[in-house]
Structure 1
Amino acid sequence: MSAVFCVDTALLAIPSYAEDEIQAENIILKLKEWSDVASNLGRNRVARSSTAELDLGALGFFPGLKNVEDLINFSGLKGVYDAKTVWSTYNNILNRAGILEELSGVDVCKYRDVELKPDLLDGLAPFDLRKLSESMLVAIGFSNYLSGSSNFLFAGASDERCESVDFCAWIEEAQGLNCASIPTHAKSKISVVTRLPDVMNSVKSDELWKSSTISSDFYFAISIRAMEILKSSGKDPSFYDVPRFVLGSEFIQSIRNHGGFGDSQFSGTILDCCARVVLGNPKEPLKPFGRPKQMVRDRDSAKALRSHITSTKVGLRLMVWMKACGTVEIANVGPKFEVMIEYGDDDGSYTVSYGRN
């Protein structure tokens, strides 16, 4: 399981934690970002509580259109944001996000004595809303405790900024995998993402790559590495700055075969090479591939290219198709002594747009 961003139920509530126009607008912007991620990265990347709709409805905080209109009017944002557009972002998260309890395999039913250091929820009101945030943090913290990882991250409603919190609580009742030892005192670390650009402070591309098993995971790791490269050059990047690219249908099998899967010998080098090719700034130049003439794929007229990954005895190469529109398709990795490019299958390839390009 790679990184999963768990949307605070309180972020979906109206009324919210917002006390003024600036805080209200921040919530709208957060919703837009997580809505885009849910649309483009899918149900394995963004999650919500299984009871979010019921909990919000029971408290009278459900984000119906009338409540959204009231939020915009009372916050002085009428004319800045369209109520129906904002309403659709709430609905998109509720409809497209995965379910945390399904992704983690565990459902916490009863808990007590929650401790958070630092306490993200200190001073937040109303109390009922704070309890919803606490419940989400407990579910994330316990999931991380059981998995021994920090794969489940908290996408909070509060503007309190910190990279992580230390979590502990007594879990008295829970259902699902690995719950035989209940009750238990669970301790874990929860990474916190206040806004989407904070992702780089919470997850690292090499760690994502090591835990990746499917195309969407590898795509995400390459995107994060591209952002890390942009940041190292003095930029303040977001996902929208990562050019759209494609992972070919044979890419994962090729890295399994040539030391690029998990924490294998060439994993970090392959990751870095992929990201730099996506950004159009490879360490080693992309050169035409094919003799006597450059290969061209019949179905889309994409041109074959290759770049050096390593200069060791193995001599790994990254094989790429450059589409007519300028989009890079990372086809496969292979050694120089049997270098070839996989034509791939469109149905088995993977791409997202991050809401922009």
Structure 2
Amino acid sequence: MTAVIKFEYLISPLICTGKHVDDHVNGMRLLKEMVSSSNVNIKCEASILENMTAAGYYPCAKVLSAAFPGGDECVHGAQDVAKLINNIIREIEECSMEMSTHVIEWEKFIVDPIIQTISDERREYVNSFLKNILSRKELLKENFSMFYSQRNEMLCQSQKFVLNGIIKDVYPSNGIKLPLSVSNDIMAYGNLNDFIQSVDGYSLYMIADNPSSLKCALFCGCVSFLNKNHPNESIEWDDFKIGDDFYDSLVRNQGAKGQEFSSVVYETIIHALCRHPKNEVKAFRVSADSPDQRIVGDLKGFRTHITSRHQALRLMFWVDSSRIITLANIGPKFEETISLP
């Protein structure tokens, strides 16, 4: 599944109603962080900066000042938001949706409900984009979603659209019986949290090959776990860190990617990060005979069981005075080692 960022999402505070401007900006910051650190398949629409400029929404402080006027009550300034948007555009790869494999003639195409756009010209562009999505789904078996905000709708609002059409002619036809009725739906994410809930954190965990991609996988897993089991609770990106030895310890102890204990290790980590541990959490002692907890600066060491058989794997982590967790390492019980943060 590829999620395509349409520029309307980036300028949501300028075209939408509602007061969740800070949530939107924080979502864009996290979106950039996730894409740069993981294997999440997110792209920008083709020629996104040129399209924004042509529509009168070049991402600069002057344009954005209408939504970010400054002053003591404005958490985010127009200049900072402009810089963030330009960084997203510069760092996230663009995705062309043009059908290079087929030439298609449409008899009918309908979007339900009607999608709201910023102009008639942009409506034609968005409808062409949606036609290509429907074509790719039917002919190439490709799946897409998008980040998109509708004009005059609530800020941070997500919406599912149903796409229906009749293809009158297609070349090459490859035996396709014409006319061809096609139908599919597409999710338009108005906020990052809704998108994250659609991501399978364990699938990302299975391909994570460094601490950054590992953190993204665990964060997505935590968001989904809390949404499903504790909807009144939440987790922030900065609520936990990956220690220097943590990823390597997963590999050493068969807990990374598709290794033997990857599933139970992943589940144990998610529960611990969400403060709903599967097994009892105990202080990590200085030694087996000591009653004193291991402390480094303002960090206190903790441990919890992952497995009870075989090597009796344990998860070790640190918690600081702000309750931020640093994942230290996993290891067999007999090692009695917690890696430095």
Structural mapping, 1:183-262, within 5 Å: 192-240=188-236, 244-262=239-257
Q: Deviations over 1:52-79 (max 9, x none)?
A: 222221333324444334568xxxx999
1:308 to partner: Cα distance:
0.2
Amino acid at match of 2:299: A
Q: Deviations over 1:212-265 (max 9, x none)?
A: 22222221222233233333444245544x661111122112222323222434
Tell me what 1:95 maps to: 87
Contact kept, 8 Å, 1:331 with 1:342, in 2: the verdict is: yes
Which stretch shows the higher mean deviation, 152-161 or 54-63?
152-161
Q: Closer, same or farther in 2 for the Cα pair 1:317/1:143, shift >3 Å?
A: farther
Shift of 1:121: 6.5
Aligned residue among 272, 275, 282 for 2:270: 275
- In the alignment, what sits opposite 1:36? 29
2:245/2:339 contact within 8 Å kept? yes
The alignment status of 1:129 with 2:122, answered yes or no, reads yes
Of residues 318, 325, 328, the one that matches 1:328 is: 325
Per-residue deviation at 1:109?
A: 6.3
What fraction of aligned residue pairs are identical, expressed as a percent? Answer: 19
* 2:206 alignment partner, SS class: helix
Are the equivalent residues in 1 in contact too, given 2:44–2:93 (CA < 8 A)?
Answer: yes
The answer to whether the 8 Å contact 1:243/1:278 transfers is no
Distance change in 2, residues 1:163/1:93 (3 Å): same
Q: Which of 329, 336, 340 in structure 1 is aligned with 2:337?
A: 340
Match of 2:309 in 1: 312
Q: Pick closer, same or farther for the CA change 1:192–1:266 going to 2, 3 Å.
A: farther
In 2: Cα distance, 1:272 partner to 1:49 partner:
35
Distance 1:324 1:13, change over 3 A: closer
Per-residue deviation at 1:163? 5.8
Q: Which runs of 5+ in 1 are unaligned?
A: 173-186, 345-357
CA radius of gyration, larger in: 2
In angstroms, what is the RMSD of aligned CA positions?
Answer: 4.6
* TM-score calculated relative to the size of structure 1: 0.66
* Residue type at the aligned position of 2:212: S
Q: What amino acid does structure 1 have at the position aligned with 2:319?
A: M
SS in 1 for 2:328: strand
> Given the alignment, which residue of 44, 47, 51 partners 1:51?
47
Q: Do 1:287 and 1:307's aligned partners in 2 also have CA atoms closer than 8 Å?
A: yes
1:324 shift after superposition: 4.3
Compared CA separation, residues 202 and 167, structure 1 to 2 (3 A): farther
User: How big is the shift at 1:28?
Assistant: 4.3
Alpha-carbon shift at residue 334 of structure 1 (Å): 1.2
Q: Is the 8 A contact 1:210 1:262 kept in 2?
A: yes
The residue aligned with 1:11 is: 9
Q: How many residues align?
A: 312
Q: Which one is further off, 269-278 or 7-16?
A: 7-16
Structure 1 counterpart of 2:301, which letter?
A: A
Q: Which runs of 5+ in 2 are unaligned?
A: 172-182
- 1:178 matched to which residue of 2? none
Q: What residue number does 2:176 align with?
A: none
Contact 2:243/2:327 (<8 A) preserved? yes
In structure 1, how many angstroms separate the alpha carbons of the residues matched to 2:109 and 2:259?
A: 36
Aligned letter for 1:92? L
Q: What's the CA shift string for 1:131-163, capped at 9, x where partnerless? A: 554677689999999x9886x752112367446
Q: Does 1:302 align with 2:299?
A: yes
TM superposition score normalised by structure 2? 0.69
